[in-house]
């Protein structure tokens, strides 16, 4: 955008000369988010390896074609600043991170100035779609069911958070607890509609010799972690360049 590629109205607002009007630049922001559910250990255990060695995918609705929830198990307490201040989880705790991985919410990235050191304004809009909030609440319920199960009883002295919250209290807990999985993507999406930024060969529309090869070109964030898809995008970019330039 600071190079003049983006929505012309936004660029002109900061006096940036328009090189190519592409209104989709910075739009379609997506991310995976999670909410921490925490239990205190009966006997504190030192974290092993990376401290988060287990994950699973699940569906909030059995009628869904693919899982829309992912939970990661962490051997330490993880929470947002808001829920940590409210529940004060002890150091000797472990976490089930209740994640939403098929988000319908869409955010955007905006400029705050024309200079390269001016920060971008990230409007993540997490849980802005009601289906995402519903999915997050379902995942918190699933985590509580597993964390309070007989099988995990030897590892759980008590449930620290959220406890048996209902209705508005549970919704507020989820909204306060939202944290990113650091999978921010999709703001320069591949496609053929008016909001697309790159074509099927990763070329930026209207700009010669410019391609994008990272997670921003995905039209929709992948259900799982984004590192492997980004590697595939990079590999595919290399193949395209070798072919185009007979390397």
Active site residues: 183
User: Would you tell me how many other CB atoms lie within 10 Å of the CB of residue 16?
Assistant: 19
CA distance 212 to 77: 37
Where is 130: in which H helix or E strand?
Answer: helix 130-147
| CA 213 – CA 62 distance, rounded (Å) | 35
Give SS3 for 138: helix
CA atoms within 13 A on the CB side of 103: 32
What is the number of other CB atoms lying within 10 angstroms of the CB of residue 146? 16
Beta-bridge mates of residue 93? 40
DSSP class of 16: P
Sign of the CA dihedral with 129 first, then 133, 138, and 143 last? positive
Tell me: cis bond preceding 162? Omega within 30 of 0 counts: yes
């Amino acid at each position: 955008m600071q190079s003049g590629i983006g929505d012309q109205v936004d660029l002109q607002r900061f006096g940036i000369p328009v090189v190519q009007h592409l209104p989709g630049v910075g739009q379609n922001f997506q991310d995976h988010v999670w909410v921490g559910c925490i239990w205190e250990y009966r006997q504190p255990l030192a974290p092993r390896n990376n401290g988060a060695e287990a994950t699973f995918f699940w569906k909030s609705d059995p009628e869904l074609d693919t899982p829309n929830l992912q939970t990661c198990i962490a051997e330490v307490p993880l929470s947002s600043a808001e829920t940590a201040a409210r529940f004060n989880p002890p150091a000797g705790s472990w976490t089930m991170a209740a994640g939403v991985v098929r988000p319908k919410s869409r955010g955007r990235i905006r400029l705050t100035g024309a200079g390269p050191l001016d920060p971008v304004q990230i409007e993540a809009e997490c849980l802005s779609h009601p289906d995402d909030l519903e999915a997050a609440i379902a995942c918190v319920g699933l985590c509580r069911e597993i964390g309070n199960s007989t099988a995990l009883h030897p590892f759980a002295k008590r449930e620290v958070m959220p406890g048996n919250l209902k209705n508005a209290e549970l919704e507020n807990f989820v909204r306060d607890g939202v944290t990113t999985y650091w999978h921010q993507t999709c703001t320069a999406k591949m496609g053929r509609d008016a909001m697309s930024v790159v074509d099927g060969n990763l070329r930026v529309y209207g700009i010669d010799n410019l391609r994008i090869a990272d997670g921003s070109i995905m039209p929709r964030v992948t259900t799982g972690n984004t590192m492997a898809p980004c590697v595939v995008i990079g590999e595919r970019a290399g193949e395209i360049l070798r072919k185009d330039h007979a390397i």
